[in-house]
Amino acid sequence: GLGFNIVGGTDQQYISNDSSIYVSRIKKDGAAYLDGRLQEGDKILAVNGRDLKDLRHKDAVELFRNAGYDVSLKIQRRLQPQNGPVGHRDGGESGGLPLAAFLVPGLALAAAAVWILLRYRQRI
The per-residue pLDDT of the chain, averaged, comes to 81
User: With contact defined as beta carbons under 8 Å apart, do 87 and 50 qualify?
Assistant: no
More confident residue, 108 or 11: 11
Predicted pLDDT of residue 34: 92
| Position 75 pLDDT exceeds 60 | yes
Higher pLDDT among residues 112 and 61, named by residue: 61
- Quote the CA–CA distance of 64 and 1 in Å, as a whole number: 8
Outline where DSSP puts E strands in 9-109.
21-26, 43-47, 50-51, 73-76
Q: How many separate helices (H) and strands (E) can be counted in the chain?
A: 3, 5
**Structure confidence at residue 80 as a pLDDT band (50, 70, 90):** low
User: Is residue 10 predicted with pLDDT exceeding 80?
Assistant: yes
Alpha-carbon span 22 to 5, nearest angstrom: 8
Beta strand pairing call for 4-8 and 50-51: unpaired
Structural domains in the chain, CATH included, are 4-76 (2.30.42.10)
Provide mean pLDDT across the span 96-110.
Answer: 64
